[in-house]
Each structure stands twice: as structure tokens, then as C-alpha cells.
Chains A and B, each alone.
Chain A
């Protein structure tokens, strides 16, 4: 899209500043968005990306600066204004109405829709939009239970139906499988070709380089650079984001294999997964790779007793255990850190301290059954130092922390259960580059201390770099276990996408 600059920008962001109490979230930021371009916005958490989106969609109001649409200043006071001006946003977690069906979700915000709902017409129009997107989705299906990718497609369809001019995509790929990402990119490109201006926000460098026409980097609320794709490199982007070169983006680690901690034999759960076999040794990271829908998380949930398996053996240090509940899993030394920190991983309004001590509260009780605050706080302080959780106080509600720090709190919570086997489900999803490197460092350290770690991740470079061995799943089946030496991106992806390939090692 070399000709992009020749056109007039559809949206100009001019000298926008926004302050929250003591934090300067945005400091004199300017940005031009052209029709028919995919403009990537990068930066660590706290760089001001979210604040900018919220100002663009009318959730926040800027202290200074203005926005021009087609050269004319506009005021976006609320999300209704944003809709009228054709500014729409889709997020990592799609904002759908689970009890409404697909068609309703697309049209519910429409002002032009009459007072009476014409169901037949609505279904027809929804089908038409989805057909244009080359998507096969039953418009009568309630949104509840649809995959995240499907829900995101609904949001894109909604934006299209509202004649979107600037589409903001905030981490849209974070929860998608590689195949779904590809589909989303196809949709995104076709929107661009129709003249929509797309502001694309992602932590995944490769994706940004694949799809963006131009790349803008923010750091600490300030604009740092805007470059055409051809002129930007990984190193440059990272340097601009963090202000320094990150050397060991993925630290290599030599594993010391200890004793066998857990062995899984023929684990089955009807309609979910079948015949899962693997073992994890002390000091080892076993990666679980696979696309979304590969049921990796379900295996994790079964090991942790949340959704127990129907049959099969789980052997801990040579002793077969039936795991029916998380309590029991914790007792035998298994901990599971969920991928969903907002909904189920953490209790957002509670303090860091209370969150960390929650699963082990019985250890903090005095003789009279009262919670000993000091012991609790000592634990929290310990983990704050150990994992360098950045917070003014351990009494801070976790809702106030950045994603990376929330992740560390969640990690503290589970480490405090003193597990032997720690299952980490997408531990770096949606957190910034710096925090990600820190989490990787922590994982390596934990393994070095003799923990067995199961790392479920959709981030291919991460899983390749962090794992000693990689178990690849596809739609509930174990496709094979590959050693670190054998595993390449191509091999893992091929197995995950289902072209049969004889596994190099089966347990």
C-alpha cells in the first residue's frame, strides 16, 4: 500500500493528551489513519494503546487535542457517537450477547432498525453479510457456546453492517488458533480493500509484520515512531517499544531431568479427548501445542480435577491417583493456572494478598480459626519480591494491576500451593513483551528448582523455546510428542493441523 499516503486521511488524531491522577496515559499523541490501510499499533502494556482506543470510541474524553474525521473536527462523547461516525472496535474478548442469536447480535445496536423486529429480513441480511465475508455460520444460533473466532466474526459483521470507516482491532488474535488467525487476516484484508481503515493492535510481532501496512509504536503514553512495513524490523520495533534491546527474548535453558513426577496413561473423556499418554519429569517443561479446539485446556482441567476424565490413569510419583476435584489435585501436588485471569483466575476486587492466600487459607488460620493477616502478608511480600510484582502495595486490588502483574499474582497464588506439577495455561497471553520475558524467566527458574511444568500455549515461538518436549494435540487426540531437538515450527504445526506424521516419540 505505497499509495496510501497520497489519499486524504480518514481520521486524524491531533495532539491528544490524557491524564489519570498521577499517570500521564497519553502525552501529545498524533496519528493519521488512511482509508484502505492496516495500521498496527504496538507498545508494551501501559504504553497508552488502550487509552487511545477508549478515547476514539468515546469511553474516555481527552484532556487536550482533537480528532478530525475527513478533516472536520468531531466530538465523540459516547459509544453512540462513535457508531454514528463509523468508529468501531472489536476486542480480544468479543462483546457479544450470549442469549441472543447471531443475527440479533449483528443488528441489535442499529439505530436504523425499526421499532418492530422483522425477523425474516434480519436473518436474510445477516446471512448476506456473513456470505460476503465468506463465513458459514448459522444466524439462528445463540452466541453462547460459539467459539471466540465465531464471536469475533459476529463483531466484524456488526461493524460492517454499521458502515464502519475506522475499525479498531484490539488484540483480536490473542485467543485464536493459527488457522483462525489466518481467516481473520483474510477478513481484515478484504475490509481494507473495501477502503476501511484498520487500527490493528497485537502483541504478536509476527502477525503485525504479516498484516500491517504501517506500524506505529507507543511507549509510556508517547508516540515513538511510525514506519511503513518495509522499513521496520523486529529489532527496531522491540527497541522502540522498550527503549532498549531485549537480548534473550527467549532464554535458552538446559534442562536437568529429575525423577518422574507424573505419568498419564490412556486418559479419556467422552466427546472431549481420548487416549492421552505422557509423563513429566522434575525440572522439565512439557509443552502442549495445538490449535484452538485441540482440547489442550481440557486435559489440563482433567488433571486438576475441574472436569475429571472418564477413564485412564494419573500416576503421581509411581502412585495411581484418582483426581475428582481441585482440592484433591492440590493435595497430590498439582496446580493449574488458568488462561482466563479476569473471569476465573483472580478475584479482581480483592487484594493481592487475599488472592494469593485464597487456595491455602487453611494454613493461615490461627488456633481460633481466624485468618492471620501477618502470615498472609508475609507470603504476599515474599512473592512480590520473588516474582517482582510491581505494585505500590500488596493490599492493592488486583483489578488495578497491569495484565503482566496480574499474571504474576496468579502465578504466586499457585506456587504458594507448593505444587510438584504446575500446569500453566497460556501464561503470557495478552501481556506485554517485558512481562512476557519475565514470565519466561520465572518458568525457567521454577523448572530449575525441580518442578515439572506443563506449558499450554498457542504462541508457537514460546512453546518451541520454552519446552523440553512438545506434545501436540488436535481435536482431542494426541498427535505425538516431539523432543526439543526435533521440533520445528513446521513439524509442530503440521501435526497440529492434522496431516498425519509418525510421531518421533510416543510415550
Chain B
């Protein structure tokens, strides 16, 4: 019985379950604290923000799985949102699909630069993306065309409509296009990571880069591709950001890299590579955002503490990973090989030795 449980159920999944549990707990707690908390408005507001961060976090997860970091995603989101906004300001007749592809393509291009430097230039990803974090943001700030800000008046009507549109509603709970995109991405990338060769190789590379090299995996190409996808996802998030907010300053989405990484880490993605799921990253995003927004509405503590709380959550979840998950893992993976069942007596003997 225990063997069966151990076989199909792993400690990592426990983490996702406990996240769901925690999210419910947070939700219920603030329900008792904030008036009108259990309302469709809370739902609608949280889901839109979560969708954007979750898309960033999922892209980030691809990179984290390979034992790399992408710190530039916040700048990529800001840059693509801003440039897509400007593009639409000057070309109001551009097809929506064109604008979307522009955002994704621009993000992918920026991700490619990161990936080439990391995979082929062999520069540590932390350094590369710290550099591009600053560079991408500077390009945005230095952008000379017209007024600095993107404002809703200049944007085409379809874009503004997209922000307010309800794809479908369940009672008063609306599913907006932004949320739908987030969910579709979740499904796609969960499948990519668990059911494609590329996905499994991401885990392999992060799990043991040396073995990947010796084993003939095209590591450089896979890492590059992870960065390109991460950039493309950030580009998509940039488009979603533009749809959601409309008014953008050059500081748009600043700091979103931290939220994205935090969401992934809280969701159980290991910064040491090889461990983590898309569902985890999404749950992490949900938990962080729910907590943030609820705290902002909770008048008991100052809003200044929201940031500190985010930091605390990262620390707690990393600690949980180090202590609890590892301990569970040890319980799970004690022994494994019985070449010809000679060792069958082992369990019995161990038991005996306790009693002795």
C-alpha cells in the first residue's frame, strides 16, 4: 500500500497541494477581515493580475529548470508593452494579431540575445540578464518618439475593448481574455514540460549539466531555446499588460522579474534547476498576488510591509524546500535496486536492528 502511494505520489506534489490549501486559507482569512471581500470584484481583479505574472513566471520557470536565471523579464514586459503601445499609436489600423505577434516576436528577440550570451558566450546567466535588465529598460527610457507615456486615448478601440471584455461569465465572475490567455498558456506549457522531448531535456540539463554534456544532449541549443521562450512569454505578458492597463510610463512592469521569480520559487521551482512544474509556478503567482492585493485592502497593516512580506514568503518557501521536501524525498527514495532479490531481507533486518 505504502509502496503504491510512494510510487505514484511524490513529495513535490505535496507542495502544490499545500499551496492550494494555503491559498484557500489566505482567502478565507481575509474574507473575515475585509468587508465585501468575497465578491466578484475581488475575483476579477486578482485573476487579471495573476494571469500576467503567471505568464512571466512560467517563462521564467523554463529558464530556472535549466539552472539559469532570467532577471531581464521585467524589462522585457515593460519594453514590449510600451513599444506595442507606441506601434499602435502610430499605426492604429494594425490588425490585433499583428500587434500580438509583434509583442511576442520582440520578446523572443530580446530573449534570444540573453540566450546566445548564456548558452554560447558561456557568461553566467545572472550577469547577462542583470546587464540586459538595465539595457532593455534604458532603451525604453531613452525612446525618443513623441511623448514618453503611452496613453489610452491614443490606442485603438479594440485594444481598450479587449481589456474590459468578458469572454464568458459565470454569474458575476468574469473570465477576461487576459485570464483565458494565462490558462491556455498554463495548459500548453504544462504539456510541453511533461510530455515533450524538449521539456524533459530542460529538466535533464538542470538536473546534471555535466551528464547532459557527456550524454550528448544539445545543451546549448536547449538553453538558448528556453531563453527565447522565456522572452516570448514576457513579450506576451507585455501585450497583456498593455491590454490591462493602457496607460504606461517607461517604468511599466518594473520589478516584475522579482514577482515572476518569486512566484516560480514559491511554487516549488528550484533555483538549482531540474525541479518544478508550470502548475506550481501558476499557483505561486496566484498566492503572491492574492496576498499582495489582500494586504493592500487590509487596513490593519501598513502597505509598506507588503514588499517585506513577499520577501518573507520567498525565504519561507526556500526553507521549506531545503528542510521538509528534502526530508520527504529521503523517505521516498530509500533504496532502489534489487538485482536478483537478495536484499529482500533488508527491511526485516533493519527492523531487527532497531529492536536490538
Contact = CB atoms under 8 A, between A and B. Distances in A.
A97 interface: yes
Contacts of A146: 333, 336-337
Nearest to B214: A95
A498 B215 CA distance: 38
Contact of B216 (A78, A99, A475): A78
Contacts of A95: 208, 210-211, 214-215
Which of A83, A97, A138 gathers most chain B CB within 10 Å?
A97
A147 B337 contact: yes
A183 B339 CA distance: 7
A353 interface: no
Interface in A321-350: none
Nearest to B208: A97
Interface stretch (A214-222, A267-275, A357-365): A267-275
Which of A117, A137, A142 gathers most chain B CB within 10 Å?
A142
A140 interface: yes
A97 B203 contact: yes
Contacts of B194: 117
A180 interface: yes
Contact of A115 (B197, B342, B353, B356): B197
Interface in A57-112: 57, 59, 78-80, 82-83, 89, 95-100, 104, 108-109
A448 to B, nearest CB: 36
A153 B215 contact: no
A4 interface: no
Given A97-B211, A100-B207, A145 B336 contact: yes
Given A99-B274, A100-B203, A100-B207, A137 B337 contact: yes
Given A79-B213, A99-B207, A134-B340, A274 B200 contact: no
A97 B339 contact: no
A145 B345 CA distance: 20
B204 interface: yes
Interface string A103-131: 01000110001111101000000000000
A116 B215 contact: no
B211 A96 contact: yes
B66 to A, nearest CB: 12
A116 B329 contact: no
A149 B332 contact: no
A341 to B, nearest CB: 17
Nearest to A98: B207
Interface residues of A, number: 51
Contact of B215 (A109, A115, A271): A109
Contact of A98 (B274, B330, B349): B274
Which of B214, B218, B329, B350 gathers most chain A CB within 10 Å?
B214
Interface string B324-356: 000001101111111111100110011001101
A275 B220 CA distance: 52
Contact of A476 (B198, B333, B345, B353): B353
A394 B212 CA distance: 34
A99 B211 contact: no
B195 interface: yes
A96 B336 CA distance: 14
A153 B216 contact: no
A175 B275 CA distance: 27
Interface string A259-277: 0000000000011011100
Nearest to A158: B215
A502 interface: no
A132 to B, nearest CB: 13
Nearest to A110: B197
A252 interface: no
B206 interface: yes
A26 B146 CA distance: 67
Nearest to A145: B333
B191 to A, nearest CB: 9
A135 interface: yes
B319 interface: no
A22 interface: no
Given A98-B207, A99-B203, A135-B339, A144 B214 contact: no
Contact of B353 (A79, A100, A475): A475
A145 B350 contact: no
Contacts of B210: 95
A489 B334 CA distance: 30
Interface in B5-45: 7-8, 10
B125 to A, nearest CB: 19
Contacts of A274: 353-354, 356
A31 B216 CA distance: 25
A179 interface: yes
A345 to B, nearest CB: 18
B275 A99 contact: yes
Contacts of B244: none
B196 A97 contact: no
A108 B337 contact: no
A405 B356 CA distance: 43
A108 to B, nearest CB: 5
A306 interface: no
A136 interface: yes
Nearest to B10: A142
A317 to B, nearest CB: 29
A408 to B, nearest CB: 25
A20 to B, nearest CB: 19
A477 interface: yes
Contacts of B345: 498
A353 to B, nearest CB: 27
Nearest to B354: A274
Contacts of A476: 350, 353
Nearest to A147: B337
A325 B182 CA distance: 49
Interface string B127-153: 000000000000000000000000000
Contacts of A136: 337-341
Contacts of B339: 134-136, 149, 153, 180, 183
B193 to A, nearest CB: 10
A153 B207 CA distance: 19
Given A147-B337, A179-B342, A274-B354, A477 B349 contact: yes
29 contacts: A79-B213, A80-B216, A80-B218, A95-B211, A98-B274, A99-B203, A99-B206, A99-B274, A99-B275, A109-B215, A113-B197, A116-B197, A135-B337, A136-B341, A137-B338, A138-B336, A141-B333, A142-B333, A145-B332, A146-B333, A147-B336, A149-B339, A271-B354, A274-B353, A274-B354, A274-B356, A275-B356, A474-B349, A475-B350
Given A145-B329, A275-B353, 20 more contacts: A79-B216, A82-B216, A95-B215, A97-B212, A100-B207, A104-B203, A116-B195, A116-B196, A117-B197, A117-B200, A134-B340, A136-B339, A144-B329, A146-B336, A147-B335, A270-B354, A271-B354, A275-B356, A475-B346, A477-B353
Interface of A: 57, 59, 78-80, 82-83, 89, 95-100, 104, 108-109, 113-117, 119, 134-138, 140-142, 144-147, 149-150, 153, 179-180, 183, 270-271, 273-275, 474-477, 498
The 3 tightest CB contacts between A and B, nearest first, are A145-B333, A150-B337, A95-B211
